[in-house]
Amino acid sequence: MNGLDDSAWLAIVAGEGALAVIVLLWVIILSGKLRRLRKAHAKLIGDTGIPELEGVLVNLHGRLEELESVRRIQDERLDKHEKRLAALKGRIGVHRFNAFSDSGSDLSFSVAIVNDEQDGVVLTGIHGREQTFLYAKPLDKGQSAYMLSPEEKTAINQASQKE
């Protein structure tokens, strides 16, 4: 047949068989790589229901914008509450003292109620044998329009140092 002897035909068939085996091995290797790629793709896409990677990225970008908007709103609220808390007059300092050295004990007192800026009030009670006097003085930045006694200043300092 066609001038080729049987050994030539056998060599051609063996060569084609070897080529077929090589191609088959190559297909098996590529199908394994394709399977791993599909698993990675499924893991990347997740349960989004969107088959294309571009669609997933667009979806994620939209969700990130929503989260950024929510974060900005929360930052504004947090700033508002921090300013409100700083303005609250919640720091308290109490200083007890003996107003009259010749009688009694530490029954007189000064109580300072201030905020972070030392705005607030200082209350002082002077206790004597016959009567008790109570004074209230407004505070603006730790100062008052009325003269502050050393005991009142001590109470203001104690309130200012509270954390």
Average pLDDT estimate for 42-60: 76
Contact 123, 135 (CB under 8 A): yes
The mean pLDDT of the chain is 87
Quote the crossing angle between the two packed helices 6-45 and 53-87, to the nearest 10°: 20
Question: Quick check: 3 pLDDT over 70?
Answer: no
The whole-angstrom separation of Cα 98 and Cα 107 is 6
Q: Say which residue, 161 or 157, is predicted with more confidence.
A: 157
Q: Say which residue, 68 or 130, is predicted with more confidence.
A: 68
Q: Can you give the pLDDT at residue 162?
A: 64
Single out the residue of 155, 53, 71, 54 nearest to residue 113, CA to CA. 155
Q: How confident is the model at residue 44 (pLDDT cuts 50, 70, 90)?
A: confident
pTM over 0.75? The answer is no
Contact 156, 112 (CB under 8 A): yes
Question: Quick check: 92 pLDDT over 80?
Answer: yes
Q: Can you give the pLDDT at residue 65?
A: 95
Single out the residue of 64, 60, 66, 34 nearest to residue 46, CA to CA. 60
Average pLDDT estimate for 127-131: 83
Q: Can you give the pLDDT at residue 31?
A: 96
Q: What percent of the chain has pLDDT over 70?
A: 91
Average pLDDT estimate for 15-35: 94
Average pLDDT estimate for 102-118: 85
